[in-house]
Each structure stands twice: as C-alpha cells, then as structure tokens.
Amino acid sequence: MGQVDCRIPPALIAVVGAGLMGHGIAQVFACAGHPVAVHDPATGALATVHRRVAVNLNRLGLSDEALERISVHARLEDALEGADFVFEAAPEEVELKRGLMESITTIASADAIVASNTSSMPVAVFSERAAGIWRVIGTHWWNPPYLIPLVEVVQGAETSAGTVARTMGLLSSVGKLPVHVRKDVPGFVANRLQHALWREAMSIVQHGICDAETVDLCVKNSFGLRLAVLGPLETADLGGLDLALNIHEQILPFIDRTPGPLPILRDKVAAGDLGMKTGRGFRTWTEAEASAAHARLAEHLVAALAARPPDTA
Ligand SMILES: NC(=O)c1ccc[n+]([C@@H]2O[C@H](COP(=O)([O-])OP(=O)(O)OC[C@H]3O[C@@H](n4cnc5c(N)ncnc54)[C@H](O)[C@@H]3O)[C@@H](O)[C@H]2O)c1
C-alpha cells in the first residue's frame, strides 16, 4: 500500500511591488520552497526581478534554483490568482497604498491574508477602503529582507487573531523573526526607536555640536557595537536603572523634541541632496564609495549574523 502524503503544500505567495523590498521578500519565500508571483506596473522593475534575485543569491554563495519558483506578472489579477498570502511593497504613499489595498482585497480570494510592508503607516490608515479588514495586517520587513531577521507583524484594531497567528507562523517557517506589535501605532516599534535616534543625530549637526562624520563615528564606535547583542533596555538594566534615572534627569530636557522633521532635513531634501543616490546627503558620496558602503553593510550583516551567540534573539 502506498503511503499517504500528509505534507502541507507550500503556500502561494504574491508580492505586489518589485522594488528594493519586493524582490527581496520574493527571494525569501522562493528560497523556502514557496511559489511566488510578483506584480509591478513598471516593466523595468518586473523584467529585472530574476536578475536582481540571482545577484543576491550569488553574493551569498547560494544556488539559484529558487529562481524558477518566481513568476512575474504585468497584471495584478494574474499575480493574485490563488494566492494564500499577499505582500504589498509599493511606494510609501498613503493614497497609493489605500487604492492598492482596495484593489488587492477585492481581487484576491476572500481568505487570502493581505499584508503591507509600509514603514510607518498604521493598518487603519492604509486599509481605509479594504474589503474584509480582518485579514489585513502590517508586516514590516527590514532591508535587505533576506538578511535582516526581524519582521514586525502589526495587528490593526480589526485584524483577527487568526490572521496574526497564520502570518507569524508563515514568517517563522521561512526563517524570519516575527514580533507581534499589538497596537496599531505609526512606526511600530523599531522605526520609532530608529527615528528618535536619527532626529537627535540630525539635531546635533543642525546645532553645530559636531559634524555628521563625528556623529556616525560616535555611534559606530560606542553603543552601536553593543546593540546587536544587548538591546537598549537590557543595557539599561546592565548599567543600573538608578544611573539611567540620573542621566535622564540631566539630559532629557535638552534632547530635541521638535514635533516634525527638522529644518536641516527639509533643506537638504529641497536642495536635492538625497544621500547616496544623488551623491550628497549629510556627506558626499562618489559612486564607488556608495557601492563600497552597500557591500560593507552586506558583508558585515552576513558575518555578524553568523557570529551571534545562539541565544541572542
Ligand atoms: N527601502 C527600505 O529600506 C524599506 C524598508 C522597510 C520597508 N520599506 C517599505 O517598503 C515599501 C517599498 O519600498 P521600496 O524601498 O521597496 O521601494 P521601491 O521604490 O524600491 O519599490 C517600489 C516598487 O513599487 C512599484 N509600484 C509603484 N506603483 C505600484 C502599484 N500601483 N502597484 C504595485 N507596485 C507599484 C514601483 O514600480 C517599484 O518597483 C514602502 O512602503 C517602504 O516604506 C522600505
């Protein structure tokens, strides 16, 4: 008698938006054995998905057999056909995401889970016109998605517990570290922390306390070194909360609390100084320097992840 095959078939994944994040998210699922259907309205983005994933796999020394599980689709309807999970990774624009969520939730099957990779928007904001909001959720991946373990799983007020559990289960099964964000707040957990730091870093430069290079040197050669193995609250416990209290009494009144983006950031963007992509941001970048910085980051992430003590997460 033949054996009954009880294996669960791999979930069908759709990725909507094939830019920096979308192609990397597709790569994660394809490498884990899932068929992935990718849609992007830009033909250039769609045409280069396989090549970009191949380059990533090659850099990591991995086989490119996952490529055959990725299909690309010019029509959204075709990419969503039969999908169990949809990951939206289109540009961070409120109206675009609202329209796209409305289309995806209308076209996709009624029980498909629909996740947005928004970096900042609460579920309530991007799902305003979505159908079946109980299966809409935030999944905030980090760049590059195939190297950074964390995915913040953001539960909206109407997202069902089952949707959270299925999403966390899928992400764990492909080697990610999903964390459940229980309140639907802008910026979730990690981006609130990261951008609190960036505001103060920019404020220090704006006020002439030191230059941008010095800010980065300070972080990279002090608490930045510790952060991958001890989080800020573990570090606070390590140093003692009495010390933390004394320091907070002294310095919190002087930490920048401007409620919107700082003038130094607005001025640079208005001047077209957007960072590496324009050759100038807080510092100037030649193409070679920018490309070396990308390579340095990827190399560091691979080495740091391999070297982390197993109980770090
Ligand atoms: N870049 C990061 O480091 C990062 C990290 C985490 C989250 N995110 C978030 O991920 C999302 C995507 O960011 P990205 O950096 O990949 O942007 P990107 O600009 O690299 O890619 C966006 C892609 O979406 C496509 N697109 C435009 N309109 C579309 C539509 N109507 N339907 C489907 N696709 C459409 C574009 O053609 C492009 O290929 C944003 O919400 C962003 O905030 C970005």
Tens digits of residue pLDDT in 93-129: 999 999 999 999 999 999 999 999 999 999 999 999 9
The answer on 144 and 26 residing in a single domain is yes
Please check whether residues 205 and 86 belong to one and the same domain. no
> Does any domain span residue 312?
no
With b for 16 or more beta-carbon neighbours within 10 A and e for fewer, the 202-220 pattern comes to bbbbeeeeeeeeebeeeee
- Give the pairing type, strands 85-88 and 13-16: parallel
Is 4 a member of any domain? no
Q: Are residues 89 and 236 in the same domain?
A: no
CA distance 74 to 77: 9
CATH of the domain at 272: 1.10.1040.10
Tell whether 313 is covered by a domain.
Answer: no
Q: Do residues 207 and 132 both lie within one domain? A: no
Total of domains in the chain: 2
Q: What is the CATH number of the domain that holds 19?
A: 3.40.50.720
Residues 104 and 37 in one domain: yes
pLDDT at 305 over 50: yes
Residue 3 has pLDDT above 70, yes or no: no
In a domain, 298, yes or no: yes
Both 279 and 248 in a single domain? Answer: yes
**Ligand 1 atom having least distance to the Cα of 45:** 39
Q: Are residues 176 and 212 in the same domain?
A: no
**Quick check: 171 and 150 in contact, CB under 8 A?**
no
148 and 211 inside one domain: no
The finding on whether 44 has its CB within 6 A of some atom of ligand 1 is no
How confident is the model over 16-29, as pLDDT tens digits?
Answer: 999 999 999 999 99
Q: How far is the CA of 16 from the centre of ligand 1 (A)?
A: 9
Whether residue 8 lies inside any domain: the answer is: no
Please, are residues 302 and 60 in contact by the beta-carbon 8 Å criterion? yes
18 lines ligand 1 (CB under 6 A): yes
- Report whether residue 90 contacts ligand 1, using a CB cutoff of 6 Å: yes
Cα–Cα distance measured from residue 276 to residue 243, given in angstroms and rounded to the nearest whole number: 39
What's the average model confidence in pLDDT over 49-63?
94
pLDDT for 95 equals: 98
Looking at the predicted structure, is the pLDDT value of residue 2 above 50?
A: no
Is 62 buried (19+), middle (13-18) or exposed (0-12) by CB count in 10 A?
middle
Domain limits for position 102: 13-181
Q: CB of 80 closer than 6 A to ligand 1? A: no
Q: Are residues 177 and 200 in the same domain?
A: no
In a domain, 294, yes or no: yes
Is 198 contained in some domain? yes
**Ligand 1 pocket member 275 (CB < 6 A):** no
Atom of ligand 1 nearest to the CA of 96: 31
